[in-house]
Chain A
Amino acid sequence: ELKVEQNPLFLSMQEGKNYTIYCNYSTTSDRLYWYRQDPGKSLESLFVLLSNGAVKQEGRLMASLDTKARLSTLHITAAVHDLSATYFCAVDRAGGTSYGKLTFGQGTILTVHP
């Protein structure tokens, strides 16, 4: 059974600081997704990582994937209050040409304060 673990689960950051959220998973997969969820809202897709070594950046967020280490990171640069949300990673446990069988991590609740 695929297990996806995020850490930390709770992250309190000061504005302007940098930090990294880690996502470890237990079985081979080369497709990993990062989502953002605001309180009471649905999930917003942030990044889709489809191969080993993939790196994507959008604004203050950068995601990377190391399939050999079964690890993805979400790096936050110079945090601002608007980044406060819950961040989920999700791993696709389907293989080959199949896709979409996502297993989500527990989520990291990020709070950015002045």
Chain B
Amino acid sequence: EAGVAQSPRYKIIEKRQSVAFWCNPISGHATLYWYQQILGQGPKLLIQFQNNGVVDDSQLPKDRFSAERLKGVDSTLKIQPAKLEDSAVYLCASSLDRWSGGYEQYFGPGTRLTVT
């Protein structure tokens, strides 16, 4: 079974530029998550999708971050404009829906973003 796919794996941009990350979850997983992991810290949940609807985006800095999952499968996370403090690894995870006991989240390899 293929795992969660993310691209790009690495990205370096200058502050005030924009960037987008892509995630393809495990086939059949209805729930998709984006996390931000700053060096030396645990991941922080940014947004949770159930199919193509947003379940929780309470920790997403909406003035600069946006995310979508238009067809309920793959997802894009965008930052515009980027700040130095956005330097982090952005992790995508997916899980089955709750009716299937989808508690366990499977994480992708992450995208390491450096903002200079």
Size bracket, chain A contacts: 20 to 34
Query: In the complex, how many angstroms separate the beta carbon of B69 from the nearest chain A beta carbon?
Result: 14
A99 touches B98 (CB 8 A): yes
Q: Which residues of chain A come closer than 8 Å to B33, judged between CB atoms?
A: 100
Complex-state Cα separation, A32 to B109, whole angstroms: 22
Complex-state Cα separation, A43 to B3, whole angstroms: 12
Q: Is B25 located at the chain interface by the 8 A CB criterion?
A: no
Chain B, residues 42-54, CB within 8 Å of chain A (1/0): the string is 1111001000000
Chain B, residues 80-116, CB within 8 Å of chain A (1/0): the string is 0000000000010101001000111111111000000
Known: A45-B105, A50-B103, A99-B103. A106 touches B41 (CB 8 A): yes
Within 20-77 of B, Cβ neighbours of A (below 8 Å) are at: 31, 33, 40-45, 48, 55-56
Query: In the complex, how many angstroms separate the beta carbon of A68 from the nearest chain B beta carbon?
Result: 21
Identity of the chain A residue whose Cβ is nearest the Cβ of B110 in the assembled complex: A42
Residue of B33, B40, B43, B56 with most chain A CB atoms under a 10 A cut-off:
B43
